[in-house]
Chain A
């Protein structure tokens, strides 16, 4: 099984931008949020309804980052579908008949 890494600019952009946005929105900001002292991305309340821990980073910002990352991946998929030759020499994920 061999692999020739001929990545197009679109491949690299989708991987880097899409992946970075999602990892930042989930893991990176999540780690910061956790160790700043807020255990949850949303306000935590006790049984009396008092807020005992509020997020430092607004949940809308993290959701927007993750949403943009998903959008980048989605746009890349549409691009591969629409571009001539699927954006590069070989389309991915297709079944072929072995010799």
Chain B
């Protein structure tokens, strides 16, 4: 059951990592599903006003208030003052679609890139980093990067089949968006 992964270029000469390929694959699929559900739930619940009397989602307070003084404030405050409609539109839609893509295993690397992009803003928008620099937002960002590195869509995901399409076979560069 063990698989030996050659890591000598990273960890030094003569070192390899022995692990269970089956468990590693299982774990990658589990990470993909749970990360996908995390974002899908975060996105779909921002549309709650469509079926309950909840207030419509608005990021304006976060953009112009909570992120004040952070390194992303020049961007977030500008959007909050000039194009809050765009952020209010793209965050729920983006989170929902990123989550759906991860759940289904479709365009996983592309979706995970945008997940990491969003998490980058959520992480860097932490005013004061009161929970420290290594916090839940950074962990979420790292999860998306992990899914990209390990090609999570190829394990129990539809990307495994999509990568066999002629389109992808003829344009191998597309595999950087899949898998």
Chain A residues with a Cβ under 8 A of chain B: 1-7, 11, 15, 19, 22-23, 26-27, 30, 34, 37-40, 44, 46, 52-53, 88-90, 92-98
Contacts and interface: CB of A to CB of B under 8 A. Distances in A.
A3 B37 contact: no
B16 A97 contact: yes
Nearest to B47: A39
Contacts of A44: 48, 52, 54
Contact of B1 (A7, A46, A94): A7
* Shortest beta-carbon contacts, A-B, top 3: A3-B21, A39-B48, A90-B2
A90 B48 contact: no
A33 B42 CA distance: 14
Contact of B15 (A7, A38, A98): A98
Contacts, number: 100
B143 to A, nearest CB: 14
A96 B54 CA distance: 56
B19 interface: yes
A2 B44 CA distance: 41
B21 A39 contact: no
A85 B15 CA distance: 23
A59 B54 CA distance: 20
Contact of A98 (B4, B23, B54, B103): B4
B160 interface: no
